[in-house]
């Protein structure tokens, strides 16, 4: 009798695990979700301004559902579009990325790149994400220069270790960005310095939300910090949250809007819209884009 009970328990456990895996791979991974947040960073009396934040598309050529969903976000009529990297997951991904972004290129936009804009994915043991000092493995080179030229050719701003101003929604925005800290391509020292105060607001971009970098951006007075990279944990435990962030950020900040500690700055971390192709699952963490409505403090 005891053996039969144990067998039934083992069978039920395997069946439950298989059902959860099927749900994560076939259902939730495609449950594209739009998040909305109000962020109090504007001067008193200012009109709201809408920022559409996209990240971690990890696009492959055949992901037409994702491409169509992202393209449909143009109906939101954002004042500014911000993309925080990891657009590609295949050497032939540029046409798919452009199908997704094409309707959004009519709006003012800015971007930084992530590691998976430079090199493609390679198979890895997913449990290595629990290792803080795991070695980064590079795959095939991706056409980042082609994507950069197309985006900047439409007027979008390349903010990889750059700083400038942009007009959006009738406002002047001081904006800075760095290349991906996850692969040590960032050079914030080259663009650092206090915000001038001449613009209506200030925004800072990075792919990987490394705390030391965010501290510097906040200390310089940037009111809104935008990042991706974490996938929100990608596999989360209900009631517990993300298991890992794949960076120095605490698990509690793996996604969403947070006040950056010790500052007046706000941090928004996008859970992103894609997955690493060798781990195409999401659990308790659907793919997302976010509309940040900036409002008076």
Q: Report pLDDT digits (tens) over 205-228.
A: 999 999 999 999 999 999 999 999
pTM over 0.75: yes
What per-residue confidence (pLDDT) applies to 23? Answer: 80
What is the per-residue pLDDT across 222-236, written as a single tens digit (0 to 9) for each?
A: 999 999 999 999 999
What per-residue confidence (pLDDT) applies to 45? Answer: 93
Of 79, 3, 19, 13, which is closest to residue 47 (Cα–Cα)? 79
> Per 3-state DSSP, what percentage of the chain is helix, strand, and coil (rounded to 5)?
30, 25, 40
Mean pLDDT, rounded, for 109-129: 81
Instruction: Assess if residue 6 is contained within a domain.
Output: no
Top pLDDT among 106 and 7 is at 106
User: What is the count of structural domains for the chain?
Assistant: 1
- For the cut 60, the answer to whether the pLDDT of residue 265 exceeds it is yes
Range from 9-13, 75-79, 189-193 carrying the lowest mean pLDDT = 9-13
Q: What mean pLDDT, rounded, does the chain reach? A: 91
Instruction: Assess if residue 4 is contained within a domain.
Output: no
What per-residue confidence (pLDDT) applies to 278? Answer: 81
Find the distance separating the first CA and the last CA of the chain, reported in whole Å: 66
Mean pLDDT, rounded, for 58-70: 97
Token output for 97: 């990325």
Instruction: Assess if residue 20 is contained within a domain.
Output: no
- Confidence band (pLDDT; 50, 70, 90) for 126? low
Instruction: Assess if residue 2 is contained within a domain.
Output: no
Tell me the Ramachandran region of residue 149: left when phi exceeds 0, alpha when psi lies from -120 to 50, beta otherwise. Answer: alpha
Instruction: Assess if residue 5 is contained within a domain.
Output: no
- For the cut 50, the answer to whether the pLDDT of residue 14 exceeds it is no
- For the cut 80, the answer to whether the pLDDT of residue 131 exceeds it is no
Rg (CA), the chain: 20
Mean pLDDT, rounded, for 42-69: 97
Instruction: Assess if residue 23 is contained within a domain.
Output: no
Instruction: Assess if residue 202 is contained within a domain.
Output: yes
DSSP-assigned beta bridge partners for residue 165: 174
How far, in whole angstroms, is CA 297 from its chain's centroid?
A: 25
Three-point CA angle 69, 283, 51, nearest 5°:
40
- For the cut 60, the answer to whether the pLDDT of residue 188 exceeds it is yes
Structural domain containing residue 265? 31-296
For residue 236, what is the domain's CATH number? Answer: 3.60.21.10
Cβ neighbors of 97 (< 8 A, separation 6 or more) are 57, 59, 87, 88, 147
Instruction: Assess if residue 192 is contained within a domain.
Output: yes
What per-residue confidence (pLDDT) applies to 120? Answer: 85
Residue 121 to residues 5, 49, 74, 95, Cα–Cα distance (Å): 43, 36, 29, 18
In DSSP notation, 216-245 reads: HHHHTT-SEEEE--SGGGSBEETTTEES--
Could you tell me if 50 and 76 are in contact, meaning their C-beta atoms sit under 8 angstroms apart?
yes
């Amino acid at each position: 009798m005891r053996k039969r009970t144990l067998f039934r328990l083992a069978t039920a456990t395997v069946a439950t695990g298989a059902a959860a895996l099927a749900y994560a791979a076939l259902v939730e991974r495609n449950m594209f979700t739009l998040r909305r947040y109000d962020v109090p960073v504007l001067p008193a009396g200012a009109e709201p301004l809408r920022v559409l934040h996209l990240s971690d598309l990890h696009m492959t050529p055949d992901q037409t559902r994702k491409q169509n969903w992202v393209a449909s976000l143009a109906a939101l009529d954002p004042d500014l579009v911000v993309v925080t990297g990891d657009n590609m997951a295949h050497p032939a991904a540029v046409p798919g990325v452009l199908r997704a972004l094409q309707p959004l290129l009519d709006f003012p936009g800015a971007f930084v790149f992530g590691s998976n804009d430079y090199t493609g994915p390679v198979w890895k043991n997913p449990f290595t994400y629990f290792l803080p000092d795991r070695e980064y493995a590079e795959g095939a080179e991706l056409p980042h220069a082609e994507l950069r030229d197309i985006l900047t050719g439409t007027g979008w701003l390349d903010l990889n270790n750059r700083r400038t101003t942009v007009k959006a929604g009738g406002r002047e925005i001081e904006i800075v960005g760095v290349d991906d800290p996850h692969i040590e391509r960032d050079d914030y020292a080259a663009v650092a310095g206090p915000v001038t105060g001449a613009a209506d607001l200030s925004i800072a971009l990075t792919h990987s939300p490394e705390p030391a970098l965010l501290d510097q951006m906040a200390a310089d007075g940037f009111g809104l910090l935008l990042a991706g990279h974490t996938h929100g944990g990608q596999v989360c435990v209900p009631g517990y949250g993300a298991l890992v962030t794949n960076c120095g950020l605490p698990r509690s900040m793996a996604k969403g809007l947070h006040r950056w500690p010790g500052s007046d700055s706000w941090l928004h971390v996008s859970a992103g819209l894609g997955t690493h192709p060798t781990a195409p699952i999401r659990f308790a963490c659907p793919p997302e884009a976010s509309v940040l409505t900036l409002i008076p403090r």
